[in-house]
Amino acid sequence: MIDIKHLTFPELQNFVVSVGFKKYRASQIARWLYKKLATSFDEMTDISRKGREILKETAEVYNLKIVNKEVSKDGTVKYLFELKDGNRIETVFIPERDWNTICVSTQVGCPIGCKFCFTAKDGFTRNLTTSEIVDQYLSVQRDVGLENRISNIVFMGMGEPLLNFENVKKSIEIFTDDRMIGLSKRKITVSTCGIIPGIRRMAKETPRVKLALSLHATEDETREKLIPLNKKYPIKEIMKELKNYPADNIRRIMIEYLMLEGINDSTEDAIRLSKLVKDIPVKVNLIPFNPYPGSPFKTPSREKIEAFQKILWNRGIATFIRDSRGQDISAACGMLRGKNKRTLKQ
Ligand code: SAH
């Protein structure tokens, strides 16, 4: 059985031809799945009953199951999805004034082990399939309704997207193909902790997609303590890679910088950060640390974060403070999953 949402458009064409349909049927099926958000072949009424039977015998439309949903006062919705094998992942819908964004997961758990991250605590289970990535978008779009159209996707949920490159790339093809979901590549951002081979592949294979780097520290000693993988891919090497990434002032690279009190929030850090990025078209996003029960870090005061921001602005670096959305729901990464697991065990 083929999971139909694994297929890019050319693959879908090959598939329909292989089961005896004319090629144009691929457009029809894609329209049902991606524009009309159909959840079964039975809904595809412009395909004959016999045709639908053939489809059902050879392929499946696999849909994620919503097992929990928390709606914040600010409109942010956090979804907990269950996969076929019982694993659970999170997706967040973030309404902005002029557009809507979703934050998708790419792995069950994560192998990187960042010290400040809640998801890291559970370790790594497996990569998500293309279909599981794509269906986070479809399921959320269906749930919030087509009047709240999702235009932006950030790969900033659970997992390290560049360690699941093939499936992330295929999902981007489905997200951006006009015959399928049809979003603009500029509105898709892939966030990485700095997997150099993955950044190189993005430069070649998904060049117009936006890149975000979770930097979080300005010298290797501190970064290594926060993100163990920094030993393999140190700051200088990553920066060299960013210089080679296709970017300009319109398509800037996003530098994410988590603010941790007493660890990376000093004036010297701000100055070092400005030097690290000075030859790269970047936009810096300062992310106030999102605490979770038992977390070993503290969030700096708003004044401290603004002072840090100001140093960067004064040195010509466009720097923004990411406002934390959904503060009244399970806001920090992985928290909804954690909470529900605890509930199940009790
Ligand atoms: N693995 C990818 C994408 C997933 S994490 C990456 O590292 O970029 C998305 C972002 O959330 C990263 O910048 C990550 O460092 C940040 N993050 C993780 N835990 C956080 C927390 N408790 N508070 C705020 N940001 C956090």
Best mutation site among 108, 256, 292 for ligand 1 pocket (most ligand atoms within 8 Å of CB): 256
What number is the average pLDDT over the span 224-251? 96
**Whole-prediction pTM value?**
0.95
Query: What's the number of CA atoms in the CB half-sphere (13 Å) around residue 198?
Result: 20
The separation between CA 37 and the C-alpha centre of its own chain, rounded to angstroms, equals 21
Distance (Å, whole) CA 278 – CA 298: 28
Query: What is the structure's pLDDT at 328?
Result: 78
- Indicate which residue's Cα is closest to atom 15 of ligand 1: 214
Is residue 193 annotated as part of the catalytic site, yes or no? no
pLDDT higher at 174 or 335: 174
CB 283 within 8 A of CB 252: yes
Q: Do the strands 107-109 and 77-82 form a parallel or antiparallel pair, or are they unpaired?
A: unpaired
Pick from 118, 122, 123: nearest CA to 292: 118
SS3 content of the chain, % helix, strand, coil (to 5): 40, 20, 40
pLDDT grade, residue 325 (50/70/90)? Answer: confident
Asked whether the predicted pLDDT for residue 341 surpasses 90, the reply is no
Pick from 305, 314, 316, 310: nearest CA to 281: 316
pLDDT higher at 341 or 314: 314
CB 8 within 8 A of CB 174: yes
Structure tokens at 203: 């430069």
- Residues 6+ away with beta carbon under 8 Å from 335: 118, 292
- Indicate which residue's Cα is closest to atom 22 of ligand 1: 290
Query: What is the structure's pLDDT at 293?
Result: 85
- pLDDT tens digits, one per residue of 34-67: 999 999 999 999 999 999 999 999 999 999 999 9
156 CA distance to ligand 1 middle (Å): 7
What number is the average pLDDT over the span 194-210? 97
- Count of beta carbons in the 10 Å neighbourhood of residue 16: 24
Asked whether the predicted pLDDT for residue 90 surpasses 90, the reply is yes
Distance (Å, whole) CA 185 – CA 281: 18
193 CA distance to ligand 1 middle (Å): 8
First to last CA, the chain: 37
Asked whether the predicted pLDDT for residue 344 surpasses 60, the reply is no
Helices vs strands, H then E, count in the chain: 11, 14
Output the CA angle 320-238-120, nearest 5 degrees: 75
What number is the average pLDDT over the span 274-293? 94
- Indicate which residue's Cα is closest to atom 18 of ligand 1: 117
Query: Running DSSP on this structure, what letter comes out for residue 255?
Result: E
* CA-atom Rg of the chain in angstroms: 21
- pLDDT tens digits, one per residue of 116-162: 999 898 899 999 999 999 999 999 999 999 999 999 999 999 999 99
Pocket of ligand 1 (CB under 6 A): 114, 116-118, 156, 160, 191-193, 214, 256, 258, 287, 289-290, 332-333
Asked whether the predicted pLDDT for residue 267 surpasses 80, the reply is yes
Pick from 264, 315, 305: nearest CA to 285: 305
203 CA distance to ligand 1 middle (Å): 22
The b/e string for 136-162 (b: 16+ C-beta within 10 A; e otherwise) is bbbbbbbebeeeeebebbbbbbbbbbb
> Taking all residues of the chain, what is their mean pLDDT, rounded to a whole number?
94
pLDDT grade, residue 102 (50/70/90)? Answer: very high
160 CA distance to ligand 1 middle (Å): 9
Q: Which of 11, 57, 90, 166 is catalytic?
A: 90
Q: Do the strands 59-60 and 65-71 form a parallel or antiparallel pair, or are they unpaired?
A: unpaired
